[in-house]
Amino acid sequence: MSFEPGLGRTQRWMQAVILHPGNTAQALSSDEAEREVPAKRLSEVVTPSRMLTSAERIGIYRDMYMLRLREALRTDYPLLFRFLGEERFEALADDYVHACPSQSYTLNRLGVHLPEFLRTAKVARRGFLYDLARFELAMTEAFDAEEAAVLSLIEVESLSEEAWDVMRLEPVPALRLLEFSYPVNAYARAVRDETPVPPLRKRATYAAVCRKDYGVVRLELPRAAFLLLRALASGTPLGGALGDPALRRVRESDLSGWFSQWTAAGMFRSIAGR
């Protein structure tokens, strides 16, 4: 009697075979695949060709699927790929995809859990890789964030001294503020500028990532600027933010320079409480 699993079972079987880790033989005999199509009936579902066996034919789909996932991760994490090299990156991508399979119809969301995966992965330079992945994910999120009108420097400079103490700045949706244990922004800058990579020793660094004119802007920040920007982005009025003991030595010239930089990067959309 011929074996006719039907469309639904065939789809579930093919998904189980394509997504299963290991080789094609292991995938075909996995519990998930066997529930839908017994391995001994494979040739009735995927007929062999003159040149390829049934297993080899389904193996092509498995290989192409993984190649596409690796390609998507490489697109989202080019710095990680550059640091690891092709072989190590592909091994990482395979481990990640098997641990965190795609749950979306689009590959745009495939790599969102990679930083968290790296946080506990058994890889060399884990701390640096974790920070680098967080940095790249922030750039992807900033690029894909909702569009918003931005506040101009003229609007900020027009505020009275009284308004500065009580005003609240609303950040644009694309703004990301990050604290790192390694100099990942310095590494990214060296790769971009094709200059020697600086020492990647552990040290606290701070960055802001945003989008302007359909391009991603990334700024390395001194700690005081980061603390102030984080407070402002969370809705704290400027006067309250400057009451932080860590910011009491901030000079007016520092504030002027920082606000010029932040508004030029398009980090804020509006002012409340003038």
Tell me: the pLDDT tens digits for 22-50?
789 888 888 888 899 888 888 888 888 89
pLDDT-above-70 percentage for the chain: 99
Residue 159 has pLDDT above 80, yes or no: no
Q: Mapping DSSP to helix (H, G, I), strand (E, B) and coil, where does residue 53 land?
A: coil
Neighbouring residues of 181: CB distance < 8 A, sequence distance ≥ 6:
127, 131, 202, 203, 204, 205
CB atoms within 10 A of CB 32: 14
The pTM for the full model equals 0.86
Q: So what's the pLDDT on residue 134? A: 98
- Which one is the CATH code of 141-272: 3.30.70, 3.90.930, 3.30.730, 3.40.50? 3.90.930
| Per-residue pLDDT reduced to its tens digit, 112-150 | 999 999 999 999 999 999 999 999 999 999 999 999 989
pLDDT-above-90 percentage for the chain: 54
Neighbour-count burial for 81-117, b at 16+ CB within 10 Å, e otherwise: bebbeeeebbebbeebbeeeeeeeeeeeebbeebbeb
Angle, helices 223-233/252-264, rounded to nearest 10 degrees: 60
Dihedral of the alpha carbons of 120, 126, 131, 133, in degrees to the nearest 10: -80
Identify the residue whose tokens are 């075979």.
17
Q: So what's the pLDDT on residue 274? A: 58
d(CA 171, CA 235): 9
**Domains of the chain, residue spans:** 6-124, 141-272
Q: What strands, in cross-sheet order, belong to the sheet with 176-180?
A: 176-180, 205-212, 215-221
Average pLDDT over residues 51-68: 90
Measured in degrees and rounded to the nearest 5, phi and psi for residue 105 equal: -70, -15
**Considering all CA atoms of the chain, what is the largest pairwise distance in Å, rounded to the nearest integer?**
87
* DSSP state, residue 8: H
| Per-residue pLDDT reduced to its tens digit, 81-103 | 999 999 999 999 999 998 888 87
DSSP string over 80-142? HHHHH-HHHHHHHHHHHHHHS---SSSGGGTTTTHHHHHHH---TTHHHHHHHHHHHHHHHHH
DSSP string over 136-202? HHHHHHHHHSPP-----HHHHHTS-HHHHHH-EEEEPTT-EEEEESS-HHHHHHHHHHT-PPPP---
The CA–CA distances, whole Å, from 172 to 146, 149, 200, 261, 262 equal 8, 8, 31, 15, 11
Q: So what's the pLDDT on residue 14? A: 86
229 touches 178 (CB < 8 A): no
Residue 158 has pLDDT above 90, yes or no: no
d(CA 157, CA 159): 6
